[in-house]
Chains A and B, each alone.
Chain A
Amino acid sequence: AQSVSQHNHHVILSEAASLELGCNYSYGGTVNLFWYVQYPGQHLQLLLKYFSGDPLVKGIKGFEAEFIKSKFSFNLRKPSVQWSDTAEYFCAVIPISWGKFQFGAGTQVVVTP
């Protein structure tokens, strides 16, 4: 069965530190990939998405993600985090051949001043 794995459940880091969140999926075919963010008390917001083309995707708020097909990974990165990046981050995958859109369990990121 298709699955989406996020490696870390909780990450705590200081402002200006670099952030990398891992995401792996198990589906062998072509997929569309997404990272969403949920700030405390707010709704899900799309950070970035990959459909095809350049595997390095730039998103909003200085985030980027790299699709590595051979590793079935889509890791999210930000070179220098801010306190306002404190949120829960979700990776999501949908195979283009069928419609089961699945999320990872999420990673809670806390950025300390």
Chain B
Amino acid sequence: DGGITQSPKYLFRKEGQNVTLSCEQNLNHDAMYWYRQDPGQGLRLIYYSQIVNDFQKGDIAEGYSVSREKKESFPLTVTSAQKNPTAFYLCASYGTNGYTFGSGTRLTVV
């Protein structure tokens, strides 16, 4: 079955460390997205990519980085520059058959 896989589901990191969240899709979708969900703030767009080797900043890109070396993969790195990294991170992809969301990664920085 086609879908998006985000891993891990839960992630704990020490303050000051970079951490990379994985997002893989086998839907052959061109566009992929990273969102951050915080209570009372909905989903805010971090980065998105419409094609391999290209990506654009979303509304809250500071402290994050991405790469899109393969169509199937869009990893998100939460850097030490992100002031408040503890959140729920959601990956999505978009193709001709619509949007698909991953199950999310809950990152907790201690």
- Which residues of A are in contact with B by a Cβ distance under 8 Å? 6, 9, 34, 43-44, 46, 49, 90, 94, 98-106
- The CA of A106 and the CA of B98, in the complex, are separated in Å by 20
B41 close to A105 (CB less than 8 A): yes
Closest chain B residue to A107, Cβ basis: B42
Instruction: Known A-B contacts: A90-B43, A101-B92, A102-B59. Give 13 more (CB < 8 A).
Output: A9-B40, A34-B99, A44-B90, A44-B101, A49-B98, A99-B50, A99-B94, A100-B45, A100-B48, A101-B48, A102-B45, A103-B42, A104-B42
**3 tightest A-B contacts by CB?**
A105-B42, A106-B42, A103-B43
Instruction: Pick the residue among B41, B94, B103 that contacts A94 (CB under 8 A).
Output: B94
B: contact size bracket: 20 to 34
Q: Is the interface of B mostly helix, strand, loop or mixed?
A: strand
Given known pairs A43-B101, A44-B90, the reply for A100 and B42 (CB within 8 Å) is no
Neighbouring B residues of A100 by C-beta, 8 Å: 45, 48, 56, 58
Neighbouring A residues of B31 by C-beta, 8 Å: 99, 101
A101 close to B103 (CB less than 8 A): no
Residues B76-100 near A (CB distance < 8 A): 90, 92, 94, 98-99
A103 close to B35 (CB less than 8 A): yes
B99 close to A46 (CB less than 8 A): yes
Expressed in whole angstroms, the minimum distance between the Cβ of A59 and any Cβ of chain B is 13
Neighbouring B residues of A44 by C-beta, 8 Å: 90, 101
Neighbouring B residues of A90 by C-beta, 8 Å: 42-43
Residues B31-85 near A (CB distance < 8 A): 31, 33, 35, 40-45, 48, 50, 56, 58-59
Neighbouring B residues of A102 by C-beta, 8 Å: 45, 59
